A and B are shown apart, each in its own frame.
Chain A
């Protein structure tokens, strides 16, 4: 009885933290507006380049231009939500300055506390950036009579639901990877190296730069096994129809396996890191 009360209390603490961070992050509206304009421009370049490539080859490709274009717009819209660009910079600054001592004193589990922050950090952009950008790419281009540049709606309601479920998995996976980057700071105080290199690998192998189905066939098995395809590629393929809605189970299993591995690894890193942590400053 006592224990379940304790658990409920803990959960509500995490929920409050999530809501507080989420609301805080929604305040950065001007930054989001600039972000939307930038992503729109970037998306346009990508779409024009892909359109030029598709029109240069008559061969059948693993996905159609319209599918690739939708894939690009989803990527531009969900960029900040699903790609772990960096760790939580506030926590990293705390580790550098020594203020992390406060977090160590809290009666909550350190990893879960930080993971909750990471989840809020990845969810807020969905509301702030993704929804406006998806609306623009869905509605603006058809009015300009540029139908082939527009985001196409999924073929069926099943595809849309499968996409949304896989997107939740993608956000959790992204938050777990964010934690790895955050925690790397416990080892290297400057944190420049891994925080720079890791996101680059992620944007390539998640499909952010080029849709994964367009990669050479011999790379496909590897790309499918790596955790990064679960961030963008697999949910997006469900949306555009490169994967049938029935593949949802497979996608979610892939995500779940990697989320567990990454969280276990992250927990271990935090535990080891805290043991050898030197509180900076004084």
Chain B
């Protein structure tokens, strides 16, 4: 069985397990939808009070908001196993994974595909739809390319961050909550256009953690505002790939960390 088939099998089992409690699943998804919808209410309140954010309209901000939330929902659902990886290390269960003749990354990815996260995904999708139709952006081929590249790049980046966070547990044993700054904090940050933030902040999220590269830059292309900020259009098309590069680096680091793994023995 190849890796992809095996992953499919893992996910199939996980989905079946979650579908055992259909009502609970439905309620949780609805709950997630409601919770994230309330978050958008906060942005609406500020626009109702101030009219605009620098020279961004609410429909434009909605595009940033929707995309980053969709991407995070997917990455969160996919990377659930890495998120709870600290426990695997603490009680020594990771040893079992090492004994199996498959890559540990695949096995951990297969732990769970969290379906209830789709509440956030749906909300993001609705808001992107509203934004695109309000701004009357035609879905031409370049626009579709930019949107999907931004989406794929952001999912890859968030997966990379979660894997990086899990990798650190090889050394620290304890899971580092502080890394939530990059995941949840990243979502909060990228909900708004990066131009409103301070210089150093923008640089950090461009060159160290390429959050601006995967969301802000390609969406500037979609909104047709790249030239205003002195960004060449080709950068918008290429920058989302940095998310995938980040993910590959994180996987590399994971392999190094794995070699340093020392079982807690419990």
Per-residue CB contact flags for chain A residues 256-272 toward chain B (1 = under 8 Å, else 0) read: 00000000000000000
**Which residues of the partner chain A approach B51 to less than 8 Å between Cβ atoms?**
56-57
Residue in contact with A34 in the complex, picked from B34, B176, B185, CB distance below 8 Å: B176
> Is B181 a contact partner of A37 (Cβ separation < 8 A)?
yes
**A residues neighboring B (CB under 8 Å):** 30-31, 34-35, 37-38, 41-42, 44-45, 48-50, 52-57, 61, 190, 192-193, 196-197, 200-201, 204, 209-210, 214-216
Q: Is B101 an interface residue (CB 8 A)?
A: no
> Is A210 a contact partner of B45 (Cβ separation < 8 A)?
yes
> Is B31 a contact partner of A48 (Cβ separation < 8 A)?
no
> Is A38 a contact partner of B185 (Cβ separation < 8 A)?
yes
> Is A55 a contact partner of B38 (Cβ separation < 8 A)?
no
Q: State the Cβ distance, B72 to closest chain A Cβ, in Å.
A: 15
Q: State the Cβ distance, A276 to closest chain B Cβ, in Å.
A: 21
Residue in contact with A54 in the complex, picked from B31, B48, B50, B176, CB distance below 8 Å: B50
Q: When A48-B201, A55-B54 are in contact, do A210 and B31 touch as well, CB less than 8 Å? A: no
Q: State the Cβ distance, B32 to closest chain A Cβ, in Å.
A: 8
Q: State the Cβ distance, A225 to closest chain B Cβ, in Å.
A: 18
Complex Cα spacing A196 to B55, Å: 35
- Band of interface residues on B: 20 to 34
Complex Cα spacing A209 to B177, Å: 21
If A45-B189, A49-B196, A200-B34 are given as contacts, then 7 extra A-B residue pairs at C-beta distance below 8 Å, sorted by A number, are A38-B177, A42-B188, A45-B197, A56-B54, A56-B55, A192-B27, A193-B28
Q: Is B228 an interface residue (CB 8 A)?
A: no
User: A45, A52, A55 — which one has the most chain B CB atoms within 10 A of its CB?
Assistant: A52
Q: Restricting to B176-234, which residues have a CB under 8 Å from any CB of A?
A: 176-178, 180-181, 185, 188-189, 192, 196-198, 201
Q: State the Cβ distance, A150 to closest chain B Cβ, in Å.
A: 15
Complex Cα spacing A193 to B116, Å: 12
The 3 A-B residue pairs with the shortest CB-CB distance in the complex, in nearest-first order: A52-B196, A209-B42, A34-B178
> Is A56 a contact partner of B35 (Cβ separation < 8 A)?
no
Q: State the Cβ distance, B175 to closest chain A Cβ, in Å.
A: 10
**Which residues of the partner chain B approach A34 to less than 8 Å between Cβ atoms?**
176-178
> Is B38 a contact partner of A201 (Cβ separation < 8 A)?
yes
Complex Cα spacing A53 to B178, Å: 28
Selected A-B contacts with CB under 8 Å, 29 pairs: A30-B174, A31-B177, A38-B178, A38-B181, A41-B181, A45-B185, A45-B188, A45-B197, A49-B53, A49-B192, A52-B54, A52-B196, A53-B49, A56-B53, A56-B55, A57-B50, A57-B51, A57-B52, A61-B49, A190-B24, A192-B24, A192-B31, A193-B31, A196-B31, A196-B35, A197-B35, A200-B38, A201-B38, A210-B42
Q: When A53-B46, A56-B52, A196-B31 are in contact, do A41 and B201 touch as well, CB less than 8 Å? A: no
